[in-house]
Amino acid sequence: MRSHPKVSIIMSVYNGELYLRQAIESVLSQTFADFEFIIVDDGSTDGSNTILMSYKDDRIRLFHNANQGQLKSLNEAIGHSVGEYIAILDADDISHPERFEKQVDILDLDQSLAMCGSFADFIDKDGKHIGQYQVPISSKEIRREVFFHCPFIHSSMMIRREILDQVGYYNESFSPAHDYELWTRIIYKFATYNIPEYLISYRIHSGQTTTKSRMRMRGKSLLIRMLSIYRSMIRV
């Protein structure tokens, strides 16, 4: 592996033993291999650490912290990264084998794109396919749809590192809709894209942060929509 891999994949883990191995294996089995895999264990108290320590792949860079929350861990992972592109995967989701290869090809081909995501398959806690989800594709569609809902799926995203350095990382004050707010800082300054293919499996289960804090999510999302209107007018 080069000293500076093309892609840095970031993951925050907190008590994720049920699905963690599937998420990790989905990264290690990618058709695209020039990456580093930065995992921050956010003070897990279950068997997550045992799972993490069982991997000897030299592309994995593992960090352990006292519990500080997902956003601090993700921002720390970005800070550790050295790749040209930052790819995100939540610890309960799965990347399909050609995900990173297809995203790198698109970002390499179109230098105007700041980031790209994809469609997603929905799976349940047992990994059973239960549906599919499509997001807007073009920059124009994304900028239109952001007023109504988040136009990207967090676990599907690949972003140019230089763009994150310009706009900043996750803003903790917008948790649990932190990704939604970050995207609004990017879409009015740069072109973005969603690949119209199902490149991840997004897991629906009762332990998700969005399930536990649904009311707070709605409040933050409303604030972000209002902020999006402002940013669309002044392009900041």
- Type of residue numbered 225: R
pLDDT for residue 210: 47
Question: Is 218 a domain residue?
Answer: yes
| pLDDT value at residue 215 | 47
Question: What is the mean pLDDT, run by run of 10 residues, along the chain of 236 residues?
Answer: 84 96 98 97 96 96 93 95 97 97 98 98 94 96 90 97 96 85 93 98 74 50 52 58
Residue 122: inside a domain, yes or no?
Answer: yes
Beta-carbon-side half-sphere exposure of residue 50 (alpha carbons within 13 Å): 5
Domain with 27, as residue range(s), is: 7-234
Planar angle of CA 150, 154, 157, nearest 5 degrees = 110
Question: Do 86 and 154 contact (CB within 8 A), yes or no?
Answer: no
Domains in the chain, number:
1
Map residue 129 onto helix, strand or coil. Answer: strand
Q: Is residue 1 part of a domain?
A: no
Count other Cβ atoms within 10 Å, centred on residue 110. Answer: 11
Has residue 2 been placed in a domain?
A: no
pLDDT confidence of residue 205 = 78
- Closest by Cα among 71, 101, 104, 59 to 174: 71
**225/129 Cα distance (integer angstroms):** 31
Structure tokens, 62: 């593992």
Q: What is the reported pLDDT for 233? A: 59
Q: What is the CATH number of the domain that holds 207?
A: 3.90.550.10
